[in-house]
Every structure is written in C-alpha cells, then in structure tokens.
Amino acid sequence: MEIKISFPGKKRVNAEFNGFVITTDQPPKYGGDGSAPSPFDHFLASIGTCAGIYVLGFCEERKIPTEHISLVQRLEYGKTQDGKTFIEKIVIEIGVPPDFPEKYRNALVKVADQCAVKKTIMHPPTFEIKTTVQ
C-alpha cells in the first residue's frame, strides 16, 4: 500500500490513498486553524473505530441491533521520571443495552480485542525514514 502525503497549506497535512483523502490540521495553539483532527487524533480514533468495526460485524452476524451499542475510548496518562506525560493505558468500554444477550458480553470484548490497529501497536513494525531525490 502506498499513501501519498501532501501539504495543502498552513499546518494542514493530507494523506491520499485508494481515492480517499484524510485531512489533518493542527489546533490553533500549535499554529493551525483547527479545521480537521490532528494526525495524532486520527491515530487515537483509529483504535476505537477499529474495535467498533469488529463489534459491528459480530452483532450483524448474529442479527443483534446496534443502535443502542456504543464504544467509549478513554486515555489514562502517566508521567515519565523527567515529568513528561505519556499515554499509559487506553480503555475501551462497550456499552450495551439491558436486553443485550448475556451470553455474548464476553465474546464482544474478545472480538473488540481483535482490532488490527491494537495488534499493530502491540507488535509494532520497524520504521525506515529516508529522503529521495525526485
């Protein structure tokens, strides 16, 4: 897969692939216009939406309505010894309605745990960053 990164102006940076454009911007406090989520915000949202697609698929296969199911992702922060803040834990809560089948509650957690984004974070790829003359 190839993703082309472009710079449409100011602090905006876009990713283009497969006919899609993901727009990003920085918040005003970092010199942007706040016109789109930051790249890091997209990264964080990809974790919850990835878990969500697995939950959705699970429910669809079993004909379980999803209109009253929700996922809430929360970040818990820690501090390094030198005082820098970092994300220590990501918690995803799957809210189900009272009539959600009890027998599927643990399975729902297991299926959300299959998220490909989470798995990639747990087993990160190596990175190679280089310049090329175009």
Can you spell out the DSSP letters for 78-123? EE-TTS-EEEEEEEEEEE--TTS-GGGHHHHHHHHTT-HHHHHHHS
Q: Where are the domains of the chain?
A: 4-119
Report the chain (134 residues): mean pLDDT per 10 consecutive residues. 97 98 98 98 98 98 97 98 97 98 97 97 97 95
Position of tokens 């296969």?
Answer: 61
Report whether CATH 3.30.300.20 matches the domain 4-119.
yes
pLDDT of residue 117: 97
Position of tokens 């602090």?
Answer: 11
User: What b/e readout covers 101-118, taking b as 16+ CB neighbours within 10 angstroms?
Assistant: eeeeeeebeebbeebebb
pLDDT of residue 15: 98
